Chain A
Amino acid sequence: MTQTEKVARIDAAGIYYRDLNARLREMVNNGASQVELVNVCGQRYIGTNLNRPAEIAIYGTPGNDLGAFMDGPRITVHGNAQDGCGNTMNNGEIIVHGHAGDITGLSARGGRIFVRDDVGYRAGIHMKEYGEKKPVLVIGGTAQDFFGEYMAGGAVVLLGLNLKEGERHRAKFIGTGMHGGVIYLRGSVDSYQLGREVGGATLEEEDFNTIRKLVNEYAGYFGGDVDEIMKLPFTKLVPLYLRPYGRLYTP
């Protein structure tokens, strides 16, 4: 963070989420490019509907749907995020120095989310992409079940850096209903852990370049040795069908 520009600061203690978001929106719309929110404790939708670049640092625990519909800013959370982080985000970044809850990246249509530790259930659910817009979700720890459920686009990367020697990802139903996008898992999973609609694919040079770039970025935010991380083999999962449920209601 440069010291040349003044950092706007909001003490969020006891402030209702609507008021907090209204103040944040006013600041960003008036041209503030760096905002620090301290004592955040459960306020929802922080950063929602902001549509210009700004650096927003959050100290505390932001509430559900952090950065929902966000379009441009970079949010850095110094703590854990709750459920629905990055819900339907269009552009921008969310960097979480901790863990994130269920449905991280829900329906994201653009932007990038980096989570240092674990995520809960259904991370990456129904992420989508169109043309140049490809959302990215990178998770340093491991994920719970239904990882990448109904994914329609974008890329999710699961690094498992906090797994101990011999420990494996426990997630089941990975990629259930997936019909677009790609999942990269560091390490391997058994076939029973996969949903019926995904399958393994060979990693091409292009895949390694994508992963390395994202791991580089991850290490830039949270530290870590990129070469060491890249040593372990990755698994690539892609959808088997374009429309897995196309015949479900029309026999």
Chain B
Amino acid sequence: MKHLDRVQNPHGDDKVIDACSIFGMMDVSGKRFSGEDITRAIANMHDRGNGLGGGFAVYGVYPDMADAYAFHIMYMSRQGQSETEDFLKDRFDVIRDEDVLTRATPRIVNPPLVRRYFLKVGQHRPAEQSDDDYVVDRVMHINTCIQDTFVFSSGKDMAVFKGVGYPEEISEYFCLEQYEGYLWTAHGRFPTNTPGWWGGAHPFSILDWTVVHNGEISSYGTNRRYLEQFGYHCTMQTDTEVVAYAVDLLVRKHRLPVEVATTVMAAPLWSDIERSPDGEQKLLLTLRQVYGSLLLNGPFTIIIAHNGEMIGLTDRIRLRPLTVGTKGDVLYLSSEEAAIRLICPGLESAWIPMGGEPVIGMVGMPAPTCETLATVMRK
């Protein structure tokens, strides 16, 4: 809980006003920028979190190593580290390994050791398996079988940085002003049902997929059991993890377009499906029949990202907030509009999308506008 006794509180109230904060920004032209702006933006929503989790994802961050899987691993013990490093040496070509840069930050206490490995699959994988599938299996193995060790980032040319603290403290700790990417997402956490620990901070990630989330996924049990059938094991003790595995399954493995995947997770209400035109109705009914177990129930706003793309989505009846902003090539997604305006005073447009309708930014495509989204959704 927040240390309310440390806060000047002349009104004698003890109301805790937390909710998670999420923020995403991307330059659709692919231009890279540092983590300074997103740190200021997420810090502006400081009061939505309670210091029990903060994190960032960044894309386009390792251009020199863009074809290697960049594993970021937390170690809670030296034994976990030596066991994991033996495992990695046996199963990958380790191109480079290093400690992740950190600086002493007063509010960050008992951090785990965080190391980075640039890995190539090379000749290690069986012929019938793709590189990506091989990596997913190895990540699942480390996270379920090796003690005191968590792989929390495993994609190419991207990274997750996260831990226990306010997001601005995590940014300071990991020196994020020194990294550059064309797409950043961020999260300030207010854990509701699950512990605040380093692995439990957002973003959640597998391969280059990352998810930050505000809300509660009450379908977690159903989603988790369904994903286990495909070899995804939930180990982070929190609901959001299922979203990362769900998009990996739907988009990478089952090759659904992103818009269709969002329709699986935030399926239209039955009453809307009934009124849809025939062809569309058939698609929507089929998706609900095939992927009913990946419907996300409960209140949520999520920002999903992977190489080249950022997607904002809320639940169908929008029980958590999302504001979109654009200026030129830059697309912003935020829990609160003020956070966008803080770092972009000349914002050209700001709007609030409808529940369940995705906002998608893609490198090489113009940033979406309120009008283009409405047209897409009505087609």
Contacts and interface: CB of A to CB of B under 8 A. Distances in A.
Contact of B355 (A44, A83, A121): A121
A80 B352 CA distance: 11
Contacts of A63: 336, 338
B342 A42 contact: yes
Given A42-B45, A82-B336, A102 B321 contact: yes
Contacts of A145: 317-318, 354-355
Interface residues of B, number: 26
B341 interface: yes
A9 interface: no
A102 B318 CA distance: 9
Interface residues of A, number: 28
Contacts, number: 68
B339 A144 contact: no
A245 to B, nearest CB: 18
A63 B46 CA distance: 12
B8 interface: yes
A63 B10 CA distance: 21
B143 to A, nearest CB: 36
Nearest to B323: A101
B48 to A, nearest CB: 9
Given A101-B352, A145-B318, A42 B339 contact: yes
A61 B323 CA distance: 13
Nearest to B377: A170
B336 A120 contact: no
Q: Which of B337, B341, B354 is most buried by chain A, counting CB atoms within 10 A of its CB?
A: B337
A144 B355 contact: yes
Interface string A71-87: 00000000010110000
Nearest to A102: B321
B147 interface: no
B133 to A, nearest CB: 40
Nearest to A100: B352
Interface in A116-160: 118, 120-121, 144-146
A80 B321 contact: no
Contact of A60 (B8, B9, B321, B341): B341
Interface string B25-67: 0000000000000000000110100000000000000000000
A61 B338 contact: yes
A64 B323 CA distance: 13
A80 B321 CA distance: 15
A18 interface: yes
A42 B338 contact: yes
B254 interface: no
B338 A144 contact: no
B350 interface: yes
Contact of A144 (B44, B45, B275, B352): B352
A82 B317 contact: no
A82 B318 contact: no
A60 B354 CA distance: 24
A146 B317 contact: yes
B338 A121 contact: no
Interface in B1-18: 7-10, 17
B341 A41 contact: yes
Contacts of A192: 271, 275
Nearest to A103: B321
A22 interface: yes
A146 B341 CA distance: 28
A52 B355 CA distance: 38
Interface in B326-340: 336-339
Contact of B336 (A40, A64, A99): A64
Contact of B318 (A22, A41, A80, A144): A144
Given A102-B352, A118-B351, A120-B318, 18 more contacts: A17-B47, A41-B44, A41-B342, A42-B45, A42-B338, A44-B17, A44-B47, A60-B338, A61-B341, A63-B336, A80-B337, A82-B336, A101-B323, A102-B318, A144-B352, A144-B354, A144-B355, A145-B354
Q: Which 9 A-B pairs have the closest CB atoms?
A: A42-B338, A61-B338, A120-B352, A121-B318, A41-B338, A41-B342, A61-B341, A42-B44, A61-B337
15 contacts: A18-B9, A61-B341, A63-B336, A80-B337, A82-B323, A82-B337, A83-B321, A83-B336, A99-B352, A102-B318, A102-B352, A118-B352, A121-B318, A144-B318, A145-B318
